[in-house]
Amino acid sequence: MKKILIIEDDQIVANVYRNKFAVEGYQAEVSPDGETGLKLMRTFHPDIIILDLMLPGISGVDVIREIRSEADFSKIPIIVFSNTYLTNLIQEAWRAGANKCLSKSNCTPKDVIEVVRHSVGDSGAMQTPPAASKKSESAAVELSTTNDEEFQADLRKTFIENLPVTLYTLRASLQTLIKAENEMTRLKQVHEIYRQIHALNGNAGIAGMIQIAHMASAFEALLKEIYEKPKNINASTLRTIAAAVDFLGILFDKGILLDQQEAPTSKILVVDDEAISRRAIVYALEKARLKSVNVEDPEQALQLLSENDFDLIFLDVDMPKMTGYELCAKLRAMAHHKKTPVVFVTSLNDFEARTNSTMAGGNDFIGKPFLFIELTVKALIHVLRTKLQRSQRHGN
């Protein structure tokens, strides 16, 4: 029987995979952190190791380095669960010796089992007799598919049932963060929300809830960056955290239908007279695979807006010839852009003054200099919300 070691700090995710591997005839053991996982590896002697890169204590990358440094395990296949928004961490995992990187946000247990089979073969617990007929093989495949569908449906049902408690906990943590009176308390609360979103990302992925997992994945990356660099906790990032929690509540309620679980697509317009700022926005959007058109001239933007539909618009506030506010007022006069989401990009020094003043027809603000992942989260909130609204208008 082939043996699998799973190093995963989320007990629910770990147990789901262990149980699924047991059904498939593999022997699986689970460890909640890297240090314990390394000790278990030396006694269990697995044929393959699956680990999350985001582990407490020793990081997943350091675990990989330690595994590769030991002669007995230097060649063992290592599959890692990654957050696609943490590209630097993924690159470190490859350099450390990972054999395969899987995205937690869109990877189901069935996907993982297929990767394991490709890496180490079938479980070894049961083999199909050479003389088995094609009819029996076809029946076995059909039964396996049925079992996978039932298993996935059960995971989805349990996940959805737990969403009200998840949302309550997130909102309570958000309120504690907003009311925090000092940096230490604020940082502790950011980490608590990060821990909750990390679990949500994994659970949504295994349940096949792509929209929630996609949003949680970007949100997790934002929280990680803020926690590691506390100087980035400011009015803009706190506003984005609050917006993300609020929007997750909407997704929990409106975004759980099976026909809504495809990755978001978009057409976004970016208007900013500063080339560096435009490139930064486009780069942040590309992290979520969101397509955009960018221009520096507001007049050119007006022409594009009159001829095209867009799902989201980013406007720099301070531009020559025409401010972002003025451009927004003009695009709101166009019938097809009366409700298109508009996010103003403004200096962080002016952020609070801007947000306390009239929105001039806009929907949101983000402060310069912004974190790439903060803008990614902002974009996903508005793109996914628009997608939900369209779906509801069409009766889905």
pLDDT per residue as tens digits for the range 12-49 = 899 999 999 999 999 999 999 999 999 999 999 999 99
**What is the pLDDT, as a whole number, of residue 146?**
53
How much is the pLDDT for 395?
Answer: 58
- Round the average pLDDT of the chain to a whole number and report it: 88
Q: What percentage of the chain reaches a pLDDT higher than 70?
A: 89
Query: First and final CA of the chain: distance in angstroms?
Result: 46
DSSP string across 244-258: HHHHHHHHHHHS-SG
Q: 123-137, 178-192, 304-318, 345-359: lowest mean pLDDT where?
A: 123-137
Distance CA 126, CA 144 (A): 14
Confidence of residue 139 (pLDDT cuts 50, 70, 90): very low
- Transcribe 301-331 into DSSP letters: HHHHHHH---SEEEEESS-SSS-HHHHHHHH
Q: Per-residue pLDDT for 197 more than 70? A: yes
pLDDT confidence of residue 355: 65
Average pLDDT of span 151-169: 92
Least confident of 33-37, 190-194, 312-316, 388-392: 388-392
pLDDT at 109: 86
What mean pLDDT is predicted for residues 55-76? 95
pTM of the prediction? 0.87
Q: Looking at domain 152-262, which CATH architecture does it have?
A: Up-down Bundle (1.20)
pLDDT at 116 over 70: yes
Decide the pairing of beta strands 267-271 and 100-103: unpaired
pLDDT at 290: 92
Residue 143's pLDDT is 40
CB 180 within 8 A of CB 232: no
Region 364-388: mean pLDDT is 92
Mean pLDDT over 46-65 rounds to 95
Percent of the chain with pLDDT over 90: 67
Tell me: pLDDT of 62 over 50: yes
What average pLDDT does this structure show over 331-345? 93
State the Cα–Cα distance between residues 208 and 105, nearest whole angstrom.
8
Give 257's pLDDT tier (boundaries 50, 70, 90).
confident
What pLDDT is stored for residue 138 in this prediction?
A: 45
Q: What is the pLDDT of residue 124?
A: 67
Q: Are 105 and 201 in contact (CB under 8 A)?
A: yes
Domain with CATH 3.40.50.2300 in the chain: 3-127, 264-396
Residue 235 has pLDDT above 90, yes or no: no
pLDDT at 136: 42
CA dist., res. 194 & res. 2, Å (int): 35
Residue 141 scores a pLDDT above 60: no
The pLDDT, as a whole number, for residue 95 is: 96
Query: Taking residues 169-182, what's their average pLDDT?
Result: 95
For residue 260, what pLDDT is reported? 63
Which pLDDT belongs to residue 104?
86
pLDDT in tens, 206-233: 888 888 999 999 999 999 999 999 999 9
Name the residue with higher pLDDT: 316 or 144: 316
CATH, domain range 3-127: 3.40.50.2300
pLDDT the model gives residue 210: 87
Q: What is the architecture, at CATH level 2, of domain 264-396?
A: 3-Layer(aba) Sandwich (3.40)
Per-residue pLDDT at 142? 46
Task: Give the C-alpha distances (Å, rounded to integers) separating 52 from 16, 81, 99, 205.
Answer: 14, 5, 13, 13
pLDDT of residue 18: 93
Where does CATH 1.20.120.160 sit in the chain?
A: 152-262
